[in-house]
Structure formats: C-alpha cells, structure tokens
Amino acid sequence: MAAIDDKTTLQEAHEGQPTPVKHGVRFWGTFVALCCLSFISALDVAIVTTALPTVTDAVGGADKYVWIANSFVVASSVLQPLFGQLANVFGRRPPFIASVVLFTLGSGIAGGAKDAAMLIAGRAVQGAGAGGIVVMLDIVCCDLVPMRERGKYLGLMFSWSGVGAALGPPVGGALAEADWRWMFYMNIPICGVALACLLLFMRVKTGTAAAQHSGLGPKLRRLDIVGNLIFTSSMIALLIGLVQGGTDEEHKWSSFRIIVPIVLGLAGWAVFHAHQTFVAKFPSVPSRMFANRTSATGFALTFTSSVVLQATAYFFPVYLQGVKGTTVLQSGTYFLPFALSSLVFAVAAGILLSKFGAYRPLHVVAFALSSLAFGLFTLLDGATSKVAWVWFQLIAAAGSGFVMSILLPAIMAALPESDVAAASATYSFFRTFGYVWGVTIPGIIFNAAMNKNLNGVSDPALRANLANGAAYSFASAVHRLKKEGALDPLALDQMTDAYSKSLRVIWWMCLGISLASLLAVPLERGLELRKELETEYGMDDSDGQVQTDGEKANGIVAKVNPA
C-alpha cells in the first residue's frame, strides 16, 4: 500500500476526517464471511414463519407447535452473554467457528427430522449457533474497523441480514410446497462458504487474556460460569412464560403455568445483575456498561427499536391479509418495500455516521420518522390505497433502517475498546429480547382488541373463528374465503373493520414507544467517535499479510509512525 504523508495525515486528523486507507484481501475475505452469515441467520428465522404449519403437519407436532416455533429463539437468546465472554477468553476465531459449526449441525438435524422432538432439538442447536453468530458478527466487525467507520460496515452487514429477512417468507412458502426439508438443508452449503472464508482469511490476534492464559484450566477460570448459569436458567423461565402465554386454554396469561415462570425469570434476572455487580470476578455483563447515560440509553433504544421493528414485521402482513385480502405469498411480496428499503437507509445512516461522526442527530431523525410512520399507520383501513400504504411502509423503513446500524457505535462511544465483546453481546441480547417482546405484547393487545371489536361482527360462526387469539392465523384464510364467496359483503366489511380497529391499537402502541424513544435521545451525550482502532484482536500481520485499515490508521494517525 502506498505510504501516507505524515503531514497530510495529521492535517486530516486535525480536521476530524478519517484517514482513507485501502483494505487488504484478508479484510474483504473475512467481511464476505460476515455478510454470508448475517444473511443466512436472518433467512433461517424468517423462512420458517410461512412454512411452519406445513412443517408441523409433516412431523406430527401440532401439540408442540409453540416450541417448534420458539426453541430457536430461546436457545439463541440465553447464550449470547456467554459467547461474548468466550470471545475475550479464547479469542475471536474459535467461538466464531464453533458457532457456525453448531448452526450447520442444527440445520442438518432439523432437515432430517423424523418427528417433532428431533425437529425441536435441531432448531435448538441451530438457535445456539445462531446466537453465537449474531454476537460474533458484531464483535468481529468492530475489531476490523475504527469506531468512526463502524456504522458504515455494520450497515452493509445488516443489509444482508435484511435481504435474508425479506426473502424468507416467499422462499419459505415456495419450499413448503416443494420439499420443506430444504429450508434447513440449504443452510449447509452457505455456511460451508462462510466457514471456508473464516478459515482462509480470518487470521486475528488472540488478545492479552487469551495469550497470557494458555491452558484450558486458566481460561475456564476466567469465565463467569455461575453468572451464566443464573442468566440462562432465568431467561429460559422468562421466555417459556412469554412464548407459551395465551397459546391455549391451559396457558392463559392469568394461569399459574405462565405467571410462575415469568416471575421466577424476572427474579433470576435481578439476581444475575446483583451477582455481576457484587460477586463476579470476571462478569459477563459488567455493570459499568450501564453506569454512563449514553450506553444505558443506547441499550434502551436498542430494545425499543427492536420491539417496533418486530411488531411491524409480524402485524403489517396481517393488515395485508386480513384487511386487504391478499394471499400469504402476496403479503410477503407487498412487505418488500419495508424490508428492502430499511437496508438502504441502514447503509445510508452508517455512511453519514462515518462522515460526520454524530449519532444523536441520526437517532432523532430515525425515531421522528418512526413516530410519523406509526401515526400514518393508524389511518390504515380497508379503503387505504396501495400507493398510500406503500409510502407509509417506506417512511417506517426509513425510521427502522436509520437506527439499525448506528446504535452499537453510540453504545461503545462511552466504553473502552476492551468492552467490545461484552457490549456487543449485551447489545445482541437486548435486540433479540426486543424481538420476543415485539411479538408477545402486540399479540396480547391484538387478541384483546379483537375480542372487544367482535361485537360489530354479526355472523356467529365468523366471530368464533376470530375470537380468543384465532384472528392472527385466520387472516391467511381471508383471501380464499373471498375468492370462494364464502362471506357475504356485510360480513366481509364487518370482519375487515374489526381487523383494522384491532391493528390500530398496535400502531398506537408503537407510536407511543417511538415517541418515548425520541424523547430519550437527549439523554445521550454527543461523544466523539474514535478514528483509531485500539484492539487486541485485530488482523494478525505476523506472516506479512496486509493489515486492516484500522491497524494501519492506528499506527499512522495515533503515533505518526510511517509503515
């Protein structure tokens, strides 16, 4: 790489502009692996949503439907803090490769499932691998580039995640009609490509902790085993209550079967944080990450933005199916304006963050657009034109996409680089946990609102099909009923009106969350994003390969030491 003039570099650093440095082959090889894994992990979550009834019927697991759907989410959530600590103790490469292997193994087990138990086991193994992948994607991306540049590359990486999420429903529907097993088998070759890239190009330093504690015993002693056991058990209890609540008569939200695990989970979570603060020698979630208002607010905004994103992803298709009468496949296609546009805005926000280094104005814009979008969503009904709801989606995509790639740099702005792994793991957990609540809370609200609005439906049989939580799945049958003429015009109007009014309560909830998030942005401090990469885990240049731009910039900008 051509030498950079020291005088020019100092002038650029003084003017606040990041030093332009070319990336090496190893950087791009590693980044290709990150994008492949970001794509496939998101695709795997989304692809099951439309095909799950077919899969459940094939393996005979109708009574285990909720765990076929949610074993993946539970397994991926509870292990994320542990993977963050493993990345510090063993270095980035071993846990990353282990995560990919777990995900690939789980895909093979799920694809070859002969019964519901085997499918649930495969999905759980997949989830454990996916949880590690999600954490390691953020950690490794942060290790590759300085903080000022992270928004841009996180945006690029998340754009592949968005492509996977957007393609999931239509691809899942198509594979469900052909051979559902390929929903899982297709992960294997893609993970193989990503794993090959990691093995070939990801040569990274192991870090001081991993280097100084070479034996397995000393490394294990640096893990927060007790804390992770408390966290895992309490999160499993909490998630059991959340995912099973309201699924049938035995699991009503007022049932002890739901209340007890939720209470135990919340109590265990409180015990975990007390353990991290007062007991743990090497905490997996250090309390110092919440001790400054910028990082604490960033974690809160990660949770709230994830809630409204997931609520949109799950319930806007219900509007398209239940109110506009589209097929499941059409609703997936009509949701593409949101799914694909959010990627463009995620990349744009990352570029703006890299150029100007200011995250608070971007957060304001993101949550202001989100508030505007959900305000417009409250106007949706059967008479809303296609042009209108497409534009509403685009505004919502701008709000969700803008904040997608710029929260993690803001969280890390007030933290030392040594906290990259712990902060990334905690960020990933808040994001995943927000997704769980983004289905659970809107689902409770929607079911309660639908029961109330059924007073306007005169047909007793139709009321029975919509009552007590059945309206969500019934939306997919509306197109067929309209096509067959099974509903008279009055019943159809009454049903679509009930759907519109019930969904409107969710949009009001999301509007409130977006406005609260907007009001929380001033709690962040406008800290300068570091332009130098200060990490123990960057690309290893010991064999003469090209360093990352962050390592080069660190040597030139910080020390003015010519390469």
Buried b (16+ CB within 10 A) or exposed e, 25-39: ebbebbbebbbbbbb
Which position has the token pair 């009923």? 481
Confidence of residue 522 (pLDDT cuts 50, 70, 90): very high
Mean pLDDT of 104-114: 91
CATH of the domain at 421: 1.20.1250.20
The residue type of 39 is F
546 and 420 both lie in a single domain: no
Would you place residue 1 in the very low, low, confident or very high pLDDT band (cuts 50, 70, 90)? Answer: very low
| pLDDT value at residue 458 | 86
Q: Highest mean pLDDT range out of 126-135, 164-173, 452-461, 498-507? A: 498-507
| 440: pLDDT strictly greater than 90 | no
Among 247, 258, 241, 242, smallest CA distance to 64 is for 247
Give me the residues paired with residue 539 across strands. Answer: 204
User: 204 with 91: CB under 8 angstroms?
Assistant: yes
Closest by CA to 438, choosing from 301, 278, 314, is 314
pLDDT at residue 533 greater than cutoff 60 = no
pLDDT at 83: 85
Q: Is the domain of 104 the same as that of 169?
A: yes
Whether the per-residue pLDDT at 332 is higher than 80: the answer is: no
Which of 515, 509, 371, 374 lies closest to 442, judged by CA? Answer: 509
pLDDT band, residue 201 (cuts 50/70/90):
confident
Check residue 62 and give its pLDDT: 59
Residue 143: inside a domain, yes or no?
Answer: yes
Q: Look at residue 213 in the predicted model and tell me its pLDDT.
A: 54
Closest CA to 472 of 502, 497, 452, 511: 502
Q: What's the pLDDT score for residue 324? A: 92
Res 101 pLDDT > 80: yes
Q: Average pLDDT of the chain?
A: 81
Q: Flag whether pLDDT at 550 surpasses 50.
A: no
- Give the best-scoring range by mean pLDDT among 131-140, 306-315, 441-450, 513-522: 513-522
72 and 190 within one domain: yes
188 and 118, same structural domain?
yes
Q: How far apart are CA 474 and CA 495, in angstroms?
A: 11
On the question of pLDDT at 165 being above 80, the answer is no
| Containing structural domain, residue 153 | 23-221+532-563
- 475 alpha carbon, distance to own chain's centre: 26
Residues of the chain above pLDDT 70, percent:
85
Residues 231 and 357 in one domain: no
539 token code pair: 């690309």
Neighbours of 474 (CB within 10 A): 20
Spatial neighbors of 332 by CB under 8 A, at least 6 apart, are 50, 169, 170, 173, 317
- Residues 154, 201, single domain; the answer is yes
Confidence of residue 511 (pLDDT cuts 50, 70, 90): very high
Q: Considering the domain boundaries, does residue 295 fall inside one? A: no
- Which of 158, 514, 149, 160 lies closest to 365 in space, CA to CA? 514
* CA dist., res. 109 & res. 112, Å (int): 5
Under the banding of pLDDT at 50, 70 and 90, the label for residue 512 is very high
Looking at the 3D structure of the chain, how many domains does it have? 3
Give the integer Cα–Cα distance in Å for 138 and 249: 41
CA dist., res. 251 & res. 257, Å (int): 6
Question: Residue 255 corresponds to which amino acid?
Answer: S
Residue 9 lies in a domain: no
Residues forming a β-bridge with 178: none
CA dist., res. 326 & res. 314, Å (int): 15
443-497 pLDDT per residue, tens: 888 888 998 999 888 888 888 888 877 788 788 788 888 888 888 888 889 999 9
Residue 2's pLDDT is 37
Q: What is the predicted pLDDT for the residue at 378?
A: 95
Q: Would you say residue 543 has pLDDT above 60?
A: no
Please state the rounded mean pLDDT for residues 372-393.
94
Mean pLDDT of all residues in 385-413? 90
Confidence check: pLDDT of 561 > 60: no
pLDDT, average across residues 288-296: 88
Length of the chain, in residues: 563
**Residue found by looking up tokens 């079911």 in the block:** 447
Residue that the structure tokens 């009503």 belong to: 252
Specify the pLDDT at position 203.
75
**So what's the pLDDT on residue 425?**
84
* Surface-to-core class of residue 291, CB atoms within 10 Å of its CB (0-12 exposed, 13-18 middle, 19+ buried): exposed
Which range of 288-292, 533-537, 544-548 scores highest in mean pLDDT? It is 288-292
Answer whether 175's CB lies under 8 Å from 47's CB. Answer: yes
Of 182-191, 454-463, 547-556, the poorest mean pLDDT is in: 547-556
Helices (H), 179-244: 182-185, 187-201, 208-212, 216-221, 225-244
Does residue 5 fall inside a structural domain?
A: no
Rg of the chain's alpha carbons, rounded to an integer?
Answer: 24
- pLDDT, residue 210, reads 52
Residue 1 lies in a domain: no
Q: Which of the pair, 27 or 226, is modelled with greater confidence?
A: 226
Mean pLDDT, range 56-72, rounded to an integer: 72
In a domain, 363, yes or no: yes
The whole-number pLDDT of residue 43 equals: 83
Higher-confidence position of 64 and 329: 329
Beta bridge partners of 204: 539
pLDDT tops 60 at residue 3 = no
191's enclosing H/E stretch is: helix 187-201
In degrees and rounded to multiples of 5, residue 67 shows phi and psi of: -85, -25
Residue 88 in any domain: the answer is: yes
* Most confident option among 97-111, 172-186, 447-461, 535-549: 97-111
Q: How remote is the C-alpha of 394 from its chain's centroid?
A: 20
Together in a domain, 84 and 217: yes
Q: pTM of this prediction?
A: 0.80
Query: Using CA atoms, how far apart are residues 491 and 482, in angstroms rounded to an integer?
Result: 11
Provide, rounded to the nearest whole percent, the portion of the chain with pLDDT above 90. Answer: 22
Where residue 23 falls among pLDDT bands split at 50, 70, 90?
A: low
Q: Has residue 17 been placed in a domain?
A: no
pLDDT on residue 392: 95
Q: Which of 143, 141, 134 is nearest to 100 (CA)?
A: 134
Q: 331 and 237 in one domain?
A: no
Residues 233 and 85 in one domain: no
Q: Are residues 483 and 509 in the same domain?
A: yes
Do 464 and 510 lie in a common domain? yes
Same domain, yes or no: 55 and 148? yes
The stretch 143-165 carries a mean pLDDT of: 77
